[in-house]
Structure 1
Amino acid sequence: MTQNERNKLYIARCLLDGKMTISEAAETLGLSERQVKRLKKGVKEYGEAFVIHKNRGRKPPHALSDEIKNLVVEKKNLEKYSRANFSHFQELLEEYESISLSKPSIYRILVSNGITSPKKHTKIKLHKRRKRKPRRGMLVIVDASPHAWFFNNEECSLHGAVDDATGEILALFFAPNECLEGYFRIMKTVISNNGVPLAVYADRHTIFRSPKTDKLSLEDELSGKRVKATQFGRAMSELGINLIWAKTAQAKGRIERLWETLQSRLPVELNIAGITTIEEANAFLAAFISKYNEKFAVEPREPQSAFHNLDDNINLDHILCIKETRQVDHGSAFSYGSVYYRVIRNGKPMPIIPKVKITVLKSPQFGLKVQYSGSIYDVEVVEQLPVKETAPKQPKKPRIPIKPAENHPWRTKTIAFPTTIYDESDREILDALYSSRLAWR
């Protein structure tokens, strides 16, 4: 019996003994006079048990059975579900085990059995929230997250792109490390599936921003000096995409929040699917992205999309690649990576004027190609450089010394020397000159 029920029982006895009026009892208990009369009558007819609620000790008809509770705890203790947070675990039970329970029910069952969620909410520093862009494609945020995505505890990097307006995942790609190729792959997926965005938001990693940028002085910038763009920056410029560098991690908080969610959910999903390699994981990501966007993506404020189609005459692979300049030697050959290659067209060597600059394109998608005069050509490895053709040298004619004739002016003409000697040094110079004259004769 609770204290409140004891108070009701005491007041009921006072009413039965005539020690208190109905109005006084109603004021003391905070009840209406009708309820007080009902209490007095019930205690008189049924005794002290009347003040106890009739459902006490009875199990509600909609209560979960002990079998269901034990089954939920048993499933949570399985290795494939052990790392899932409570919210994700509720979704997994409904998807894979056909157990449909609410999130609060799952929470109560697990907490009552001493199981805590691996994802705890901690108090964080609040930052001013940046409004979402009104349209899809106005801003795409890219980043990579190193994490032990598989249960073998080996780290790899997951590259990702998120639309700022909707929060939907546009592309994901696994790679052993954060690399340029990973960002090229996600940008190709974004452009192929949606179109070319207006801007890309990235951090200040050297993939996006040259470290020499901070070394420019104010005088250098005023004089027009610029730092050469990175390969990613050059590719974005060719596609007409504005590349924006974030100064803090909070500035690109939408994708940072995505990593927190994926680090909690994706390893569990990969483990359930039995995926342990990067190649299998990349093939699995398409279905995962579709399910994630269906659950978490929001509608943009404006339905029109800011993505625009890529021109038909542009080959995306020839832009999202490494481009470097080389000089052609004789025989249309050039050196790249300590190997000599030759430009070919239709399977035959293409004649190119020596010392001409060409652009070498390198990508895992197509290997090595050359861009020359606005066209793309294949290359082949040259085992030995062709011999440079040179014109035959003419034999040198023997040099015949020329001796002046006896009547040559040099022999006959008299040199007039100045009569005025300024100092002894002038006299010495004139004497030496006169002596050489006599020696030549």
Structure 2
Amino acid sequence: MNEVRYLMSQKQLNRYIVLSKLIEGQVTTKEAAERLGLSERQVKRLRKGVREEGPAFLIHKNTGCKPVHAIPDALVKRIIELRKSENYQNANFLHFQELLKEHESIEISYKALYGILTRAGFKSPKKRRKGKAHHRRKRRAQEGLLIQMDATPFAWFGTDQNYTLHGAIDDATGKILGLYLARKECLQGYFEVVRRILGNHGIPASIYSDRHSIFHSPKTARIPLKEQLAGKEAPRTQFGRAMNELGITLIPARSPQAKGRIERLWDTLQGRLPVELKIAGIADLRKANQFFMYYIPAFNARFAVSSAVSETAFTSLKEGLVIDHILCCKQTRTVDNSGVFSFKGQHFQVTSQGGVVSIPPKSRVEGLVSPAFGIRVQYQNAIYEAIPCIQAKRRKTSISCKEKRTYHPPEDHCYKYGRKLWPKLSFAESDAEILQMLEEIFLKNYA
């Protein structure tokens, strides 16, 4: 009897007490029905069952039995062990559900998984708080009309070292169009993102970015309104010049909230990408940038939406266009009488496959610099290679008594414009060492 009462709920126990008094004649059927909130017919049925089977009649026959559709204990134990493992411990509950299906072949509903993990004492690292009411800007109608671009520093490899992830997202669909990981926010990182956009999709109509000096010259704010109305513009940055050559409109944002779509993308990636990199065993920049080739399509299949207009706004690249000759740094130089020009204290000579190129003295040439090819020269719409050369030092024929004067270039001089990008380094004579030096320079912070 005591064992039966132990299995009974408080409601069942109350019913048994009232029915016992009814059987003993202490209360009437009508009074028992009022106390239990049942009909007299139900009370008579319960009284008959208690007389024949005792209090066990009031206990459901499945009490204490595990449901047929219940998750096996072995599977629950396996899920908890996986959650404690190093690879999955930082994943939020929804991401963990996706990872179980992808890597462990375990399919389970989110509700069931949430119950298992919370009962085991786990809390999702994805903290949620009630957000403020904010009117979101309507998405663009076509894919490729507006691309939001930004970079974010984070400990992507789970260490104390922060690396900067450069990225671009389509405003209409929410698709990631390109990702590139570098040590710091730099010009090369954004150039590589644009390179992936051009190669995979085409030329977008416009790019929406912040007011970092990589995108927009800080001198723009210093130009008086009267001169701006007269048509005077600040010199374009290297990124701005490249986008102008591609026909892409560069739009500056006035606040992070204005480009909220890519800001929310960073929040999502900071919760998911470190876990994915850890599972893949990736802990360096080169492998991470290769990993993005497979990660981006899977991410877009999970989160991207359809645009209002099916036709894309991306335009195809012009035939014969060399992307490397646009996504680079360009600076104008003057060739001397021997066909040599100087660049950051070093001298270079223009060459081609047939040998040294004859360029008229005092001609203006365009120097192209990129880690992809080193240093090249553009003259009259033709591209030539440039090799370092050593000029003989001039001999002093007489001692001048004139006072030595130091030349100070103006503020808008190209040397001052690029001095933060180009430190004073010595060129090596071999092309391999020059290429390595240029790559290191391009990856420095171009602020």
Q: Structure 1 length normalisation: TM-score? A: 0.81
- Give the AA of the match of 1:235: A
Give the drift of 1:180: 0.6
Give the drift of 1:206: 1.0
CA distance in structure 1 between the partners assigned to 2:113 and 2:49 by the alignment = 40
Give the drift of 1:188: 0.9
Give the drift of 1:32: 5.5
CA distance in structure 1 between the partners assigned to 2:97 and 2:216 by the alignment = 43
Change in CA separation of 1:325 and 1:134 when aligned onto 2, cut-off 3 Å: same
Q: Is the 8 A contact 1:333 1:385 kept in 2?
A: no
Map Cα deviations across residues 150-189 of structure 1 (whole Å, 9 max, x no partner). 1333111111111111111111111111111111111011
Change in CA separation of 1:89 and 1:224 when aligned onto 2, cut-off 3 Å: same
1:84 corresponds in structure 2 to 91
Change in CA separation of 1:367 and 1:33 when aligned onto 2, cut-off 3 Å: farther
Match of 2:124 among 114, 117, 122: 117
Give the drift of 1:294: 1.6
Q: Is the 8 A contact 1:166 1:298 kept in 2?
A: yes
2:194 corresponds in structure 1 to 187
Change in CA separation of 1:25 and 1:262 when aligned onto 2, cut-off 3 Å: same
Match of 1:268 among 275, 295, 304: 275
CA distance in structure 1 between the partners assigned to 2:106 and 2:231 by the alignment = 66
After TM superposition, the structure 1 stretch with the greater mean CA deviation from structure 2, 2-11 or 228-237, is 2-11
Match of 1:310 among 309, 312, 317: 317
How many residues matched? 386
2:307 corresponds in structure 1 to 300
Map Cα deviations across residues 359-396 of structure 1 (whole Å, 9 max, x no partner). 11111111111122222222121211699xxxxxxxxx
Change in CA separation of 1:255 and 1:18 when aligned onto 2, cut-off 3 Å: same
CA distance in structure 1 between the partners assigned to 2:240 and 2:57 by the alignment = 80
The correspondence of residues 205-284 of structure 1 with structure 2, limited to 5 A, is 205-284=212-291
- Give the AA of the match of 1:165: A
- The answer as to 2:365 corresponding to 1:375 is no
Change in CA separation of 1:181 and 1:33 when aligned onto 2, cut-off 3 Å: farther
Q: Percent identity?
A: 49
Change in CA separation of 1:337 and 1:20 when aligned onto 2, cut-off 3 Å: farther
- The answer as to 2:70 corresponding to 1:63 is yes
1:161 corresponds in structure 2 to 168
Give the drift of 1:208: 0.8
After TM superposition, the structure 1 stretch with the greater mean CA deviation from structure 2, 218-227 or 322-331, is 218-227
Change in CA separation of 1:217 and 1:2 when aligned onto 2, cut-off 3 Å: farther
1:106 corresponds in structure 2 to 113
Map Cα deviations across residues 69-103 of structure 1 (whole Å, 9 max, x no partner). 22111111111222122222222222222222222
Give the drift of 1:12: 3.8
Give the drift of 1:297: 1.4
Give the drift of 1:15: 5.3
Map Cα deviations across residues 319-353 of structure 1 (whole Å, 9 max, x no partner). 11111111222222111121111222334222222
Give the drift of 1:205: 1.1
CA distance in structure 2 between the partners assigned to 1:184 and 1:202 by the alignment = 14
Give the drift of 1:236: 1.0
Map Cα deviations across residues 221-267 of structure 1 (whole Å, 9 max, x no partner). 22322111111111111111111111111221211111111111111
- Give the AA of the match of 1:60: P
The correspondence of residues 20-39 of structure 1 with structure 2, limited to 5 A, is 20-21=28-29, 29=36, 31=38, 35-39=42-46
- Give the AA of the match of 1:133: R
Give the drift of 1:51: 2.9
Q: Is the 8 A contact 1:342 1:349 kept in 2?
A: yes
- Give the AA of the match of 1:338: G
- The answer as to 2:360 corresponding to 1:363 is no
Q: Is the 8 A contact 2:29 2:44 kept in 1?
A: no
1:131 corresponds in structure 2 to 138
- The answer as to 2:298 corresponding to 1:291 is yes
SS of 1:379's equivalent in the other structure is strand
What stretches of structure 2 of length at least 5 have no aligned partner?
1-7, 395-447
SS of 1:331's equivalent in the other structure is coil
Give the drift of 1:31: 4.8
Q: Is the 8 A contact 1:198 1:242 kept in 2?
A: yes
- Give the AA of the match of 2:313: A
CA distance in structure 1 between the partners assigned to 2:309 and 2:292 by the alignment = 28
Change in CA separation of 1:380 and 1:28 when aligned onto 2, cut-off 3 Å: same
- Give the AA of the match of 1:222: L
Q: Is the 8 A contact 1:80 1:272 kept in 2?
A: yes
Give the drift of 1:193: 0.7
CA distance in structure 2 between the partners assigned to 1:21 and 1:350 by the alignment = 116
Q: Is the 8 A contact 2:29 2:40 kept in 1?
A: no
What stretches of structure 1 of length at least 5 have no aligned partner?
388-441
Change in CA separation of 1:385 and 1:355 when aligned onto 2, cut-off 3 Å: farther
Q: Structure 2 length normalisation: TM-score? A: 0.80
SS of 1:136's equivalent in the other structure is coil
- Give the AA of the match of 1:371: Q
Q: Is the 8 A contact 1:331 1:386 kept in 2?
A: no
The one of the two structures with greater contact order (alpha-carbon pairs below 8 A, sep at least 6) is 2
Q: Is the 8 A contact 1:208 1:230 kept in 2?
A: yes
SS of 2:338's equivalent in the other structure is helix
